[in-house]
A and B are shown apart, each in its own frame.
Chain A
Amino acid sequence: MAVLWPERCKGIVSVSGYLIGSQESGKAPLPPNAELEWWYQFYFATERGRAGYDKYWYDFAKLIWQFASPKWNFDGATFDRSSASFDNPDHVAIVIHNYRWRQGLAEGEPKYDALERRLAEAPVIRVPIITLEGDANGAPHPDPSAYAKKFTGKACSDRKAGKAR
């Protein structure tokens, strides 16, 4: 929104800062411990991963909640309220496409190519921004110093915004 339609944004509040992915950035290898956090991306790149997610999507998503959430101690009922939204005939295909696209293994939806090209340039964001980063973020995320220069308008950040529950 802030890149494509800045005239429609009074400002943005962005958790974990600047996170515009692209197929080009997806080519860059990461240090091993960071790659480990992305294990499912490699899994989804394979037919075994697609079949595995199709078969075990419920357990898979619960596992991701356990690893990637900000240390939530969620109960089964809480998880079930969300996981019900995964139980639809499109879910697996959409997830697999998303992760394969990131690695350049699948094409994007052509009608969004023009938008994608602009985003892929990783342009700076000029609208005012508040960035937030939790102190218990279990998911892969960049250090705030990595994206500070991406914001050229008024900006502030809060490192402790998301405490573990």
Chain B
Amino acid sequence: MGTKDCGHEISMSTPSAGEAGATGDWRTERPALDAGACLAVKQRKDACQLCWVYCPDVCIARGVPPAVDLSYCKGCGICAEVCPTGAIRMVADDEHAAPAAPGGARAAAGART
């Protein structure tokens, strides 16, 4: 299928998750959560959530524990910096070596919602 089927004459996109592509493949490190050390998990409620607040890519979902969407996480490490208990640690990421296939990001975004 050619791109002309999109019918666009200029560059356009609809604001939605995944429109900029599977940007998680830029990442060299990813956050690893030690759930036992996470305040929300320890208190068994929607506590703290500082990682969700600070994530500049809006790819951490609130929760017990908060969940990182690795389709878009670029591995900046801010969540690890702000975590008051040190429950998040940045670890070497190997997934970025294989670029996501077209549609992969969309599927991941769909799975999140």
Q: Do A and B come from one complex?
A: no
